[in-house]
Structure 1
């Protein structure tokens, strides 16, 4: 993910992308026929292709690829997708179709990754895919949990092993506006920032802004500001010798309100939290 983020921004985006709601529609292993070919303009779902044998092509947007055995391809939702055969030695492939939504956005609109990764352990991956296929056919009450767990493992591994991972914060106008609001809140963390001020930054009516903000972040504006303050407070508690009263002052909060807010956010009193982790030595924190 972007290296120019500070710690609180990174924490937010880690939690934000983890809100993706998964829904798998198909999973199978197929030795495709020679007639296997199709084009899908702005496909509404993601495709995962794990190539086991044979040859063919896939196209994502205007780029054409010729997958090899042991490679895992992701054809992201919202992209123009095409695929087909190039000989009688056709693909034998594990595949699945799924959506991964955060609100109205597709996860891989927000997070841009490499088009494919080489699998570190193809046999282990194929065993997992066999489990995925079995759970897709299962009537067990917990089968959807199992499907989501495997898909999440696939997605996490794919992101971690991608050569390129970019956060596309301009994927929609709403996304860009809300990112500007989040940056403003972080820059004014010690101030009493009003909803009117934030709604003007987003160019929304205040009532609409509150709903849009909560849909985007999962928090109300005050809840998100308190989240930012508790993250900053945790940093102060573990890397400085500032006392709790000084930390509250630096965050623009009354001591009693700060202590209550911190406990609500973390489950710990500030002094108890300080005891959880060893403090960074002063000569390190100064650099």
Structure 2
């Protein structure tokens, strides 16, 4: 059964071990099972991962991921320069807990067992399954920072490690979801563009479905599935998003209300507060925002 990690904003991860090393051809780890999770990133060379019954070839710029209860065998095919990162998705404290003494050696027959999948909730997107093999080119500088913090143990290093790991996870999530989002949004792209470009218009489902070439009832179901909300609510959210930008630029609330197609200032303020918890005036006065002159 897939393991649900939780929601991205609620993660409290911890780095347990981090290194950059070189390994000779024929070096292997396993068959084994680890107590936490591991990312293995190849800088140069080539390695293979046998993860349960599946095998992955790992080339420069590529990474593999697996967690606990996932029998695996990692083998170096050619002399390889790599990063190894052991971590926990959720930890009550950020201090590293070295996995070495809890790694379990397994018999070869254990590799017939399917690896555990990890799922992560992404607010505003959907639940994603963490891939076991993926490309992450250009991650070396961030991985270097993680390794340095881990090795040097400067004051507050465990908290800095948590922050760097969250940055790494976030960048990975963006990459994992980018292609999926493009494919999904492409189906309703014309409707999304129309509402973003003309938020002042009270778009009907018939008009929006016509832009995408679908029957209204099918379009409504598709929109809910792909955007995670209905067309009306998407338009409201888009109006509020643009209203925030206009408020920060110092435009008058009356002008914003009219530009976004609201029939009255009261209706605009009511919608804005429902979405943000603040009236337009309160939002403008929040610390860090611009004040109207």
Output the TM-score relative to the length of structure 1.
0.53
| Residue of structure 1 equivalent to 2:96 | none
* Structural mapping, 1:116-265, within 5 Å: 116-118=139-141, 119-124=144-149, 152-156=166-170, 167-168=178-179, 171-172=182-183, 174-242=184-252, 244-255=253-264, 256-265=266-275
Instruction: Note if 1:48 corresponds to 2:39.
Output: yes
How many angstroms does 1:267 deviate by? 1.2
| Residue of structure 2 equivalent to 1:64 | 59
More strand by share: 2
How many angstroms does 1:197 deviate by? 1.7
| Partner Cα distance (1:247, 1:167) in 2 | 32
SS of aligned partner of 2:40: strand
| Partner Cα distance (1:214, 1:241) in 2 | 33
| Partner Cα distance (2:81, 2:211) in 1 | 54
How many angstroms does 1:112 deviate by? 7.7
Contact 1:190/1:250 (8 A) holds in 2: yes
Instruction: Note if 1:278 corresponds to 2:290.
Output: yes
| Partner Cα distance (2:242, 2:81) in 1 | 55
How many angstroms does 1:20 deviate by? 9.8
How many angstroms does 1:62 deviate by? 9.2
Contact 1:113/1:166 (8 A) holds in 2: no
Contact 2:46/2:57 (8 A) holds in 1: no
Q: CA RMSD in A?
A: 5.3
Cα distance 1:211–1:261, how it changes in 2: closer, same or farther (>3 A)?
same
Contiguous gaps of at least 5 residues in structure 2:
1-6, 31-36, 50-54, 67-72, 88-116, 153-161
Cα distance 1:203–1:75, how it changes in 2: closer, same or farther (>3 A)?
farther
How many angstroms does 1:154 deviate by? 3.2
Q: Which has the higher contact order (CA 8 A, sep 6+)?
A: 2
